[in-house]
Amino acid sequence: MFYLSNLITNSLDFLAIKLNLGYLISLILMTIILKMIFIPSKIASHKNKTRKKYILEELERIDERKRRTHKLIRKKALKIKKMKLYKENNIISWKSTFPLIFFQFFIIIQFIHSLHAIDFEKGNLPYLWFNLANRDFTFILPLLVFTLNLIEGYPKKSKNFKIDLTIYLILNVLILLFAIYLPSSILIYWISGTCFFIIIEFLWLKEKHIKQFETGNI
Protein backbone atom coordinates (compact mmCIF):
# COMPACT_ATOMS: atom_id res chain seq x y z
CA MET A 1 0.00 0.00 0.00
CA PHE A 2 2.84 2.35 0.88
CA TYR A 3 4.97 1.45 -2.14
CA LEU A 4 3.81 4.59 -3.95
CA SER A 5 4.42 6.69 -0.84
CA ASN A 6 7.99 5.34 -0.60
CA LEU A 7 8.53 6.04 -4.30
CA ILE A 8 7.45 9.67 -3.84
CA THR A 9 9.64 10.04 -0.73
CA ASN A 10 12.66 8.61 -2.59
CA SER A 11 11.98 10.90 -5.56
CA LEU A 12 11.84 13.94 -3.27
CA ASP A 13 15.09 12.84 -1.59
CA PHE A 14 16.74 12.37 -4.99
CA LEU A 15 15.73 15.84 -6.23
CA ALA A 16 16.55 17.55 -2.93
CA ILE A 17 19.83 15.81 -2.07
CA LYS A 18 21.30 14.22 -5.20
CA LEU A 19 20.37 17.11 -7.51
CA ASN A 20 20.83 19.64 -4.70
CA LEU A 21 17.50 21.40 -5.38
CA GLY A 22 16.41 21.50 -1.75
CA TYR A 23 13.12 20.14 -0.43
CA LEU A 24 11.09 23.26 -1.20
CA ILE A 25 11.83 23.27 -4.96
CA SER A 26 11.63 19.46 -5.06
CA LEU A 27 8.20 19.53 -3.42
CA ILE A 28 6.91 22.11 -5.91
CA LEU A 29 8.28 20.09 -8.87
CA MET A 30 6.77 16.82 -7.59
CA THR A 31 3.43 18.56 -7.03
CA ILE A 32 3.40 19.84 -10.63
CA ILE A 33 4.26 16.35 -11.94
CA LEU A 34 1.44 14.86 -9.87
CA LYS A 35 -1.06 17.47 -11.06
CA MET A 36 -0.03 16.94 -14.69
CA ILE A 37 -1.24 13.33 -14.36
CA PHE A 38 -4.68 14.71 -13.51
CA ILE A 39 -4.89 17.25 -16.37
CA PRO A 40 -6.94 15.00 -18.75
CA SER A 41 -9.55 14.28 -16.06
CA LYS A 42 -9.57 17.98 -15.07
CA ILE A 43 -10.28 19.03 -18.67
CA ALA A 44 -12.98 16.36 -19.06
CA SER A 45 -14.58 17.39 -15.76
CA HIS A 46 -14.53 21.07 -16.73
CA LYS A 47 -16.14 20.40 -20.11
CA ASN A 48 -18.72 18.13 -18.50
CA LYS A 49 -19.63 20.75 -15.89
CA THR A 50 -19.80 23.53 -18.49
CA ARG A 51 -22.03 21.54 -20.84
CA LYS A 52 -24.31 20.57 -17.96
CA LYS A 53 -24.61 24.21 -16.90
CA TYR A 54 -25.68 25.32 -20.38
CA ILE A 55 -28.09 22.41 -20.75
CA LEU A 56 -29.79 23.40 -17.49
CA GLU A 57 -30.02 27.00 -18.71
CA GLU A 58 -31.59 25.77 -21.95
CA LEU A 59 -34.10 23.69 -19.96
CA GLU A 60 -35.01 26.75 -17.89
CA ARG A 61 -35.74 28.67 -21.11
CA ILE A 62 -37.91 25.80 -22.38
CA ASP A 63 -39.73 25.68 -19.03
CA GLU A 64 -40.34 29.44 -19.20
CA ARG A 65 -41.92 29.11 -22.66
CA LYS A 66 -44.27 26.36 -21.47
CA ARG A 67 -45.58 28.00 -18.32
CA ARG A 68 -49.20 27.46 -19.35
CA THR A 69 -48.75 23.68 -19.53
CA HIS A 70 -49.79 21.64 -16.50
CA LYS A 71 -46.94 21.38 -13.99
CA LEU A 72 -46.69 17.55 -13.97
CA ILE A 73 -46.77 17.34 -17.78
CA ARG A 74 -44.16 20.09 -18.03
CA LYS A 75 -41.93 18.38 -15.46
CA LYS A 76 -42.10 15.04 -17.29
CA ALA A 77 -41.38 16.69 -20.65
CA LEU A 78 -38.37 18.51 -19.18
CA LYS A 79 -37.02 15.29 -17.72
CA ILE A 80 -37.22 13.57 -21.12
CA LYS A 81 -35.59 16.57 -22.80
CA LYS A 82 -32.86 16.64 -20.15
CA MET A 83 -32.01 12.94 -20.66
CA LYS A 84 -31.94 13.47 -24.42
CA LEU A 85 -29.59 16.49 -24.17
CA TYR A 86 -27.34 14.67 -21.68
CA LYS A 87 -27.06 11.72 -24.07
CA GLU A 88 -26.47 13.89 -27.16
CA ASN A 89 -23.72 15.86 -25.42
CA ASN A 90 -22.05 12.92 -23.64
CA ILE A 91 -22.69 14.22 -20.13
CA ILE A 92 -21.09 11.88 -17.60
CA SER A 93 -22.81 11.31 -14.26
CA TRP A 94 -20.79 11.61 -11.05
CA LYS A 95 -21.33 7.88 -10.42
CA SER A 96 -19.36 7.07 -13.58
CA THR A 97 -16.42 9.19 -12.44
CA PHE A 98 -16.30 7.72 -8.92
CA PRO A 99 -13.47 5.19 -9.69
CA LEU A 100 -11.36 8.02 -11.13
CA ILE A 101 -12.08 10.25 -8.11
CA PHE A 102 -11.13 7.38 -5.79
CA PHE A 103 -7.86 6.84 -7.72
CA GLN A 104 -6.98 10.55 -7.51
CA PHE A 105 -7.81 10.59 -3.81
CA PHE A 106 -5.58 7.53 -3.24
CA ILE A 107 -2.63 9.18 -5.07
CA ILE A 108 -3.02 12.41 -3.08
CA ILE A 109 -3.18 10.51 0.24
CA GLN A 110 0.04 8.68 -0.66
CA PHE A 111 1.70 11.98 -1.57
CA ILE A 112 0.66 13.58 1.74
CA HIS A 113 1.84 10.47 3.62
CA SER A 114 5.27 10.85 1.99
CA LEU A 115 5.41 14.51 3.10
CA HIS A 116 4.67 13.46 6.67
CA ALA A 117 7.49 10.91 6.42
CA ILE A 118 9.94 13.60 5.28
CA ASP A 119 8.80 16.00 8.02
CA PHE A 120 9.22 13.28 10.64
CA GLU A 121 12.64 12.10 9.41
CA LYS A 122 14.27 15.47 8.66
CA GLY A 123 12.69 17.42 11.51
CA ASN A 124 14.12 20.83 10.57
CA LEU A 125 13.62 22.22 7.06
CA PRO A 126 13.64 26.05 7.30
CA TYR A 127 12.88 28.12 4.19
CA LEU A 128 12.17 31.86 4.09
CA TRP A 129 9.77 32.59 7.00
CA PHE A 130 8.49 29.00 7.48
CA ASN A 131 9.73 25.51 8.27
CA LEU A 132 8.46 22.69 6.04
CA ALA A 133 8.20 20.34 9.02
CA ASN A 134 6.17 22.74 11.19
CA ARG A 135 3.07 24.94 11.07
CA ASP A 136 3.39 28.44 9.63
CA PHE A 137 2.94 30.58 12.74
CA THR A 138 2.82 33.77 10.64
CA PHE A 139 -0.40 32.38 8.99
CA ILE A 140 0.82 33.58 5.57
CA LEU A 141 0.64 30.11 3.97
CA PRO A 142 -2.86 29.31 5.32
CA LEU A 143 -4.08 32.70 4.08
CA LEU A 144 -2.52 31.98 0.66
CA VAL A 145 -4.39 28.65 0.57
CA PHE A 146 -7.63 30.48 1.44
CA THR A 147 -7.09 33.19 -1.22
CA LEU A 148 -6.14 30.77 -4.01
CA ASN A 149 -9.11 28.52 -3.23
CA LEU A 150 -11.39 31.56 -3.55
CA ILE A 151 -9.86 32.45 -6.92
CA GLU A 152 -9.96 28.91 -8.32
CA GLY A 153 -13.52 27.96 -7.46
CA TYR A 154 -15.35 31.28 -7.12
CA PRO A 155 -18.98 30.56 -8.11
CA LYS A 156 -20.23 31.93 -11.40
CA LYS A 157 -23.26 34.17 -11.73
CA SER A 158 -26.42 32.11 -11.64
CA LYS A 159 -29.95 32.09 -10.26
CA ASN A 160 -28.69 30.77 -6.90
CA PHE A 161 -25.49 32.84 -6.87
CA LYS A 162 -25.96 34.28 -3.35
CA ILE A 163 -26.59 30.84 -1.83
CA ASP A 164 -23.65 29.32 -3.75
CA LEU A 165 -21.37 32.16 -2.65
CA THR A 166 -22.41 31.86 1.01
CA ILE A 167 -21.79 28.10 1.06
CA TYR A 168 -18.49 28.55 -0.78
CA LEU A 169 -17.24 31.18 1.68
CA ILE A 170 -18.22 29.06 4.70
CA LEU A 171 -16.37 26.05 3.25
CA ASN A 172 -13.27 28.12 2.58
CA VAL A 173 -13.28 29.57 6.08
CA LEU A 174 -13.42 26.00 7.44
CA ILE A 175 -10.51 25.07 5.14
CA LEU A 176 -8.57 28.08 6.46
CA LEU A 177 -9.13 27.00 10.07
CA PHE A 178 -8.01 23.47 9.15
CA ALA A 179 -4.95 24.75 7.20
CA ILE A 180 -3.66 26.70 10.20
CA TYR A 181 -2.83 23.40 11.95
CA LEU A 182 -1.19 21.67 8.95
CA PRO A 183 2.59 21.50 8.45
CA SER A 184 3.97 23.94 5.88
CA SER A 185 5.00 21.11 3.52
CA ILE A 186 1.34 20.17 2.94
CA LEU A 187 0.39 23.84 2.50
CA ILE A 188 3.15 24.28 -0.11
CA TYR A 189 1.76 21.21 -1.92
CA TRP A 190 -1.74 22.73 -1.74
CA ILE A 191 -0.59 26.16 -2.94
CA SER A 192 1.57 24.78 -5.78
CA GLY A 193 -1.21 22.50 -7.04
CA THR A 194 -3.86 25.23 -6.90
CA CYS A 195 -1.59 27.73 -8.71
CA PHE A 196 -0.88 25.12 -11.39
CA PHE A 197 -4.58 24.46 -12.03
CA ILE A 198 -5.41 28.19 -12.04
CA ILE A 199 -2.81 28.66 -14.79
CA ILE A 200 -4.18 25.62 -16.70
CA GLU A 201 -7.73 26.99 -16.47
CA PHE A 202 -6.60 30.42 -17.65
CA LEU A 203 -4.57 29.11 -20.60
CA TRP A 204 -6.54 26.01 -21.61
CA LEU A 205 -9.97 25.73 -20.00
CA LYS A 206 -11.45 29.00 -21.25
CA GLU A 207 -15.16 28.77 -21.94
CA LYS A 208 -15.07 29.58 -25.65
CA HIS A 209 -16.34 26.09 -26.53
CA ILE A 210 -19.49 26.47 -24.43
CA LYS A 211 -21.00 28.93 -26.91
CA GLN A 212 -21.18 26.04 -29.35
CA PHE A 213 -24.12 24.73 -27.35
CA GLU A 214 -26.44 27.07 -29.23
CA THR A 215 -25.52 25.33 -32.48
CA GLY A 216 -25.70 21.88 -30.91
CA ASN A 217 -21.96 21.31 -31.11
CA ILE A 218 -20.86 21.26 -27.51
Cβ–Cβ < 8 Å for 205, 48: no
DSSP 217: -
Residue 214 pLDDT > 80: no
pLDDT at 71: 61
pLDDT digits (tens, 9 = 90+) for 35-89: 888 887 777 777 777 777 777 777 777 666 666 565 666 666 677 666 777 666 6
For every residue of 100-147, DSSP letters joined together read HHHHHHHHHHHHHHHHHHHHHHH---EETTEETTS--TT-HHHHHHHH
pLDDT at 89: 66
Question: What mean pLDDT is reported for the chain?
Answer: 77
pLDDT digits (tens, 9 = 90+) for 125-167: 788 888 888 889 999 999 999 999 888 877 777 667 788 888 8
- Residue 131 pairs with which residues in a beta bridge? 126
pLDDT at 20: 87
Question: pTM, whole model, 2 decimals?
Answer: 0.73
